[in-house]
């Protein structure tokens, strides 16, 4: 493995590496907990998306059936008369592990006209009602899908970061720490050998004898 740069020499470098290893391992634990929470939340949101998809499909079938009835009874003129103003969508947001995603969505539509409005036949009234229900179901499903995509994307990003730490950064730190520890052991061994050599030399030489006549 390629040697890391910018590592202080000696014992300072060993402490530097040990501290960064501790931080990196703690980071892996935190990222793993975040990933587990997002995984569970993503599974819950997928169930919500499946339920809203079913509701949307059911309401669409009912709306299509009423649309056919209106066309058969009154033609396109009846559809134009039954068309209202645009709707407004409001989204409520939620957060999980720092991730912001749609929690729910509501639709505000123009006020429902009275059923005995002279411009509305019963079919137009029920067609409008069923299409509003389909719109509300579609908006809820769209919000659920957006939430799933957002949470799943953050889950994948968290997993990549965790792999980068556990598979690249931590092994690099560990490898560099092993090298540095080995260098320090070799230096300490060499220093010990030199000290023993100096002590043995002094012992072999013995005390100096005084010169004659002094």
Strand partners, 99: 96
Task: Give the contacts of 142 (CB within 8 A, at least 6 positions apart).
Answer: 105
Between CA 72 and CA 59 the distance in angstroms is: 20
* pLDDT for the residue numbered 87: 81
Whole-prediction pTM value?
0.73
Ordered domains of the chain (ranges, CATH): 20-176 (1.10.287.3240)
What tens-digit pLDDT sequence spans the chain (214 residues)?
445 567 777 788 888 899 999 999 999 999 999 999 999 999 999 999 999 999 999 999 999 898 887 777 666 655 655 566 678 899 999 998 899 999 999 988 776 655 544 445 677 778 888 888 999 999 999 999 999 999 999 999 999 999 999 999 999 999 888 888 888 877 777 767 677 777 766 676 655 555 555 4
* pLDDT for the residue numbered 119: 47
Strand partners, 142: none
Between CA 46 and CA 59 the distance in angstroms is: 20
Report phi then psi at 106, rounded to 5.
-125, 155
145 CB-contact burial (10 Å; exposed 0-12 / middle 13-18 / buried 19+): middle
Strand partners, 102: 93
């Amino acid at each position: 493995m390629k040697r890391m740069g910018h590592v202080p020499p000696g014992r300072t470098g060993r402490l530097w590496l040990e501290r960064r290893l501790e931080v990196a391992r703690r980071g892996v634990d935190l990222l793993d907990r975040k990933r587990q929470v997002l995984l569970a939340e993503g599974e819950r949101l997928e169930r919500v998306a499946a339920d809203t998809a079913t509701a949307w499909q059911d309401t669409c079938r009912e709306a299509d059936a009423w649309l056919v009835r209106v066309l058969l009874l009154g033609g396109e003129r009846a559809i134009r008369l039954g068309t209202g103003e645009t709707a407004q969508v409001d989204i409520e947001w939620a957060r999980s592990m720092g991730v912001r995603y749609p929690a729910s969505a509501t639709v505000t539509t123009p006020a429902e006209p009275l059923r005995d409005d002279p411009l509305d036949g019963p079919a137009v009234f029920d067609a409008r009602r069923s299409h509003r229900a389909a719109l509300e179901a579609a908006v809820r499903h769209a919000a659920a899908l957006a939430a799933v995509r957002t949470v799943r994307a953050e889950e994948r990003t968290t997993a990549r970061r965790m792999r980068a730490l556990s598979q690249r950064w931590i092994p690099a730190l560990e490898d560099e720490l092993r090298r540095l520890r080995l260098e320090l052991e070799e230096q300490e061994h060499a220093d010990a050998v030199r000290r023993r050599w100096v002590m043995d030399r002094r012992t072999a030489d013995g005390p100096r004898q005084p010169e004659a006549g002094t």
